[in-house]
């Protein structure tokens, strides 16, 4: 399957792009993270500590155990600092 993957804040800066389309066989977000980590050091650096990251699936906050099936947009980012 194909998903759009978005990165924000320092995750975006480490990976170097705000958005890319990814071909994945992963069943869960955690599986997708493993695939990305294996790609290149910049991904390994961005995903070094997933406890420091948050994930949204189709623009809803979710978690790393969540299934990817049917998801079109995955976003990775650090904890939010609004307000």
Partner 1 sequence: MGEVRVQAEAFDAGAELNRFSQTQDGAGAVVSFTGVVRDVAGGLEAMEIEHYPGMTEKAIAGIVEEAQGRWPLTGALVIHRHGRLEPGAQIMMVATASAHRVAAFEAAEFLMDYLKSRAPFWKKELTREGAGWVAAVEADEDALKRW
Interacting residues with partner 1 (CB under 8 A) = 6, 8-10, 12, 56, 59-61, 75, 77-83
Q: What is the closest distance, in whole angstroms, from the C-beta atom of residue 37 to partner 1 in the complex?
A: 21
SS3 sequence, 20-58?
Answer: EEEECCCCEHHHHHHHHHCCCHHHHHHCCCHHHCEEEEC
Closer residue to partner 1, CB minimum distance, 44 or 52: 52
Closer residue to partner 1, CB minimum distance, 12 or 37: 12
Nearest Cα to Cα of residue 74 among 26, 42, 38: 26
Q: What is the closest distance, in whole angstroms, from the C-beta atom of residue 21 to partner 1 in the complex?
A: 17
């Amino acid at each position: 399957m194909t998903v759009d993957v978005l990165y924000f804040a320092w995750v975006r800066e480490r990976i170097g792009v705000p958005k890319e389309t990814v071909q994945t066989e992963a069943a869960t977000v955690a599986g997708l993270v493993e695939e990305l980590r294996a790609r290149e050091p910049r991904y390994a650096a961005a995903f070094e500590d997933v406890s420091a990251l948050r994930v949204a699936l189709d623009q809803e906050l979710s978690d790393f155990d969540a299934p990817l099936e049917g998801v079109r947009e995955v976003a990775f980012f650090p904890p939010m600092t609004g307000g």
